[in-house]
Amino acid sequence: MQLSDPQHPTDLDRMRVAFAIQVAQRISEADGILDLSEIEFLMKLFPDSVLRACGFVDEHTQLTDTARTWSERARTALATQLTTEQKLSLITIFHEACMVDGEMHPSEIRQLMRAARDLGLSRDVVFAHIGSLRHA
Per-residue pLDDT of 7-19, as tens digits, reads 899 999 999 999 9
Q: Range of 26's domain?
A: 11-134
Tell me, letter by letter, the H, E, C secondary structure of 30-44: HCCCCCHHHHHHHHH
**Would you say residue 5 lies in a domain?**
no
127: CATH? 1.10.3680
135 pLDDT more than 70: no
Across the range 104-115, mean pLDDT stands at: 93
Q: Residues 33-55, buried b or exposed e (16+ Cβ, 10 A)?
A: eeeeebeebbeebbeeebbebbe
**Would you say residue 127 lies in a domain?**
yes
Total domain count, the chain: 1
Residue 38: which pLDDT band, with cuts at 50, 70 and 90? Answer: confident
Q: What is the pLDDT of residues 43-61, one digit of tens each?
A: 898 999 999 999 999 998 8
**Would you say residue 1 lies in a domain?**
no
